Structure 1
Amino acid sequence: MSDTTDYIDQFIKNIGLNLAGFEKLGAALLSLGYLYYVNSAQVDTLEVLGISNGNETPEQIIVNGQRLVLLGYITLYIVSVKRLEEKEFLNSVRESNINITPYEAVSISYLISVFANLLRLDAFIQIQNAENEEQ
């Protein structure tokens, strides 16, 4: 029985480590994506001031940033689903009494963020296309 308990403990530990790594990745993608927003605003400012800013337009930069943000939210959604499954597993295998409601709420909120960011990406692409047509 001890071997089984040790195996389960190691299994759960590995899940936690893997999820933490993916959570870092999701947060990094979000951070990097939002840095693109800052860069886009800077390029936009330079354009307003009539200063040459290179080849990329603010719209192109923000679309690229939004893609990274979307990937970040998708990653965090996957992590939240896996964390929920981990807690459900603990409840069933160890007969724990973990309240999974907050884990469900986190998962649902990330899913909503994924859909919201899909809409935002589509809108930014439309804006980029409209700007390209005007030029």
Structure 2
Amino acid sequence: MRYTLLLHYPEQTPESLGAEVVAEAQQAFASYATTLEAAGVLLSAEVLQPSSSTTTVRRRDGVLQVQDGPFADTKEQLGGSFVLDVADLDAALEWAGRAPSVEWGAVEVRPGAVWFGDGQWRPNA
């Protein structure tokens, strides 16, 4: 089964964290990704740019609205994701508990499915 681990944590700049903390976090995530890869469960990983670079698109009353900036009502922002292929939810939760960011934020575990891959739509996947 596919699960996406959505990493939510307080957003800070590299300058406010300091070079040593940034280097430690980068090493922790590199180690985590290497461990996931070695276990054969990692399908992809993404690091998102800061929420200040977000653009939100909505359609209201037939009109497309495009607005700059994040609109989540939270102090934490989505910072990245790992897509895993594991046996079940328990396995996904096990991996989520090992994500470095679980120490300073939340890791949302959400089931997923491939809807488009290899050039074909697969809505029943």
Q: TM-score surpassing 0.5? A: no
The structure richer in strand per residue is 2
- Rg: which structure is higher? 1
Q: Could you say which TM-score interval applies, normalised by the shorter chain?
A: under 0.3
The structure richer in helix per residue is 1
Q: Answer 1 or 2: higher relative contact order, Cα 8 Å, separation at least 6.
A: 2
TM-score (normalizing by structure 1): 0.21
TM-score (normalizing by structure 2): 0.22
